[in-house]
Structure 1
Amino acid sequence: MITLIAAAAENNALGKDNNLLWHLPDDFKRFKQITTGHHIIMGRKTFESFPKPLPNRTHVIITRQENYDVPEGCLVVNSLEKAIAVCPKEEEEIFIIGGGEIYTQSMKIADKIELTRVFTAPEADTFFPEINLEEWKLTFEEFHTKDEKHAFDFSFLTYVRL
């Protein structure tokens, strides 16, 4: 199963200047819980936005750069198709974690979307693709109000392909 996992604003904003637009500890906890122990596929810029590789996950980085240097345990490929192909066939779920271009490429082949909808509409340069509700069904929704640790209201949403 291929799952897209993202946090996107109401205008589908994901980030600006290779940075996230918000700090939501509960979203980070959910991301860690869902992706730990799995292969995570990302573009080079997404990988470079991390201070170091995320623990207990196999990073698959898509880049057109020849001889792109990554830490031990990370895999480098030059296409989404190759990224999926290097993930073990027995792995139940692989995760696409960004960025915008990789999400757009993978939207047509994904089986599930784990989306944190952040209730704001900031300026951004990277966006999540539009979810076509004729192709996707919302199967889970959990609303969270802003508090001292979370500057925005947000909802955890799960979509499955129809």
Structure 2
Amino acid sequence: MLIAIWAQDKNGLIGKNNRLPWHLPNDLRFFKATTINHTLVMGRKTFEGMGGRPLPDRQTIVLTRDKNHQATNVLVMHSLEEVLAYDQETQGKTFIAGGSAIYREFLPYCKKIYRTYIEESFEGDAYFPELAWGEWQLIERKQGLTDEKNPYRYYFEIYTRIDA
């Protein structure tokens, strides 16, 4: 099953220079707990923005148009169809983890969304693509804990596709 996962500010911002524009350790813990032992799909720039190494205990797929791209300990794929075939074959949870173009390409195939919504505005250069929210139903919304390390008001949200 394809599942989109991301964090955004109140303006839909998701990145700055291929990195997160904020530091929110609780969101990183949520991302880890949600995706552990599953598959992550991301574009090459997002992968390189994370240091060019796969996250532990997750199968990482790097999607790139560069037929010569190589990366250690990841699967390199070159098309939506390859990823969809992999997802069907494994029948597990495949999390779409960015960037903007990857989300845009895969959202029509996603059955679930995990979104961290941060009630702040940040500076950046990458935004989540337009989403037809009428196709989605909010099934859970939980406010995250704020403290000195997590100073922003934020929510963990889970949506399912209405026709799923």
Deviations 1:36-61, CA, capped at 9 Å, x for gaps: 11111110001101122100111111
Structure ranking higher in helix proportion: 2
Match of 1:142 in 2: 142
CA RMSD of aligned residues (A): 1.4
Does the 8 A contact of 2:119 with 2:154 survive in 1? yes
The 5 A counterparts of 1:12-161 are 12-51=12-51, 52-72=53-73, 74-87=74-87, 89-161=89-161
Structure 1 residues 92 and 13, CA gap change in structure 2 (3 angstroms) = same
Displaced runs of 4+ in structure 1, greater than 4 A?
A: none
Structure 1 position 89, deviation (Å): 2.2
SS at match of 2:134: coil
Structure 1 position 65, deviation (Å): 1.1
Could you tell me the TM-score, scaled by structure 1's length? 0.93
Alignment length (residue pairs): 161
Does the 8 A contact of 1:118 with 1:155 survive in 2? yes
Does the 8 A contact of 1:138 with 1:160 survive in 2? yes
| Aligned-partner residue type, residue 16 of structure 1 | K
Could you tell me the TM-score, scaled by structure 2's length? 0.92
Identical aligned residues as a percent = 37
Does the 8 A contact of 1:14 with 1:21 survive in 2? yes
Structure 1 position 85, deviation (Å): 1.7
SS at match of 1:19: coil
In terms of mean alpha carbon deviation, does 75-84 or 8-17 score higher? 75-84
